[in-house]
Amino acid sequence: MAIKQIPVYIVTGQLDSGKTSFVKDTLMEQDWLEPGTTLFLQCEEGEFELPEEYCKSRRILTESVDDPSVFTTAFCEGLLKKYSPGQIIIEFNGMWDLQDFLKKDFPKSWGLAGIYSTVDGTSLELLMTNMRNIFMNQLIESDLVVVNRCPQTLDRVPFRKALKLQNPGAQVIFEGMDGKLIEFGEEDLPYDLNADVIELEDTDYGTWYADAFESPERYKGKKIRFLAQFFRPVGMAKNMFVPGRLVMACCPADIKFYGFPCKTDTPLRFSNKSWHLITAEFTMEKRKDPRTGQMDYVPVMRYISAQDAEAPADEVVTL
């Protein structure tokens, strides 16, 4: 008989980076939370605590743990017997080693459901300068990183790029001093939009594709160079193909091949799924939507040149 999994969520971040507020205002508001009791394990004491009435109304039971060595198999199994939780949230101590913690022998019924990290935007540059290794170590395993309290003067690009290099699968969002989400803009792009040729690194492809899909006018007339697999679907014209990459948005189950159709002056010969370093111009063409019959402008790449290339160590990129 399969063991019923109890989802375990870990919320990491430095002291007073907003972990408890994230638990209350974001994590506890999700529709996918299991019914019943939520066991909230607090591994450090911050400035903000969940109000007693709130905990009662949401069936949250709290317990403090001040030493990572306490998390033995026997201790964790004892928590299950004592509280019978529907899920467990661990507010992780920012000075503990998360990777060592994840190697512990937890009960088989504990299923890691997500790792979320909070960062105080007012301290981000200081952390990157003076505590980079300790700070980034907390984020290597994160599924989502929320940088809150961002001042208007904060340069968000260096941190996003550093995070993506160490943890390509992480999603990162920024919130202003007012708590509102900062919309993704040109200043957040990890490449030079005004370069003669925009050079995309592997970690940039997902960002570029999503941004070009959402805001194609930014790239009209721009030359782009990137590593891609060439693919020509059955029925596509010989002077067309799709240079693209396998992209993972959230998990392995949603990996798909994404790319814009590319037009050549003469038919291009290649093996499907072969790797090439391509340079192409991004443009827009008027096409009829086969579903609606309406004419609309759609993104199309115009082939300039390409050279054969080796497959990268990791063929899948992330958004």
pLDDT at 106: 95
More confident residue, 248 or 90: 90
Among 185, 211, 220, 210, CA closest to 302: 220
Architecture per CATH, 6-183: 3-Layer(aba) Sandwich (3.40)
> In the chain, which residues fall in CATH 2.40.50.140?
191-318
Fold of 191-318: OB fold (Dihydrolipoamide Acetyltransferase, E2P) (2.40.50)
**Across residues 109-137, what is the average pLDDT?**
90
> In the chain, which residues fall in CATH 3.40.50.300?
6-183
Asked which of 50-64, 89-103, 159-173, 229-243 is least confident by mean pLDDT, the reply is: 159-173
**Across residues 77-91, what is the average pLDDT?**
95
Statement: residue 118 has pLDDT above 70: yes
The average confidence (pLDDT) of the chain is 90
Q: Using a pLDDT cut of 90, give the percent of the chain over it.
A: 66
* Geometric angle at alpha carbon 293, from 288 and 296, rounded to 5°: 40
pLDDT at 37: 93
pLDDT at 292: 63
What gap in Å lies between CA 92 and CA 11, rounded to an integer? 6
Statement: residue 1 has pLDDT above 70: no
**Across residues 213-222, what is the average pLDDT?**
92
Statement: residue 221 has pLDDT above 80: yes
In the numeric block, the tokens 């091949």 are attached to 257
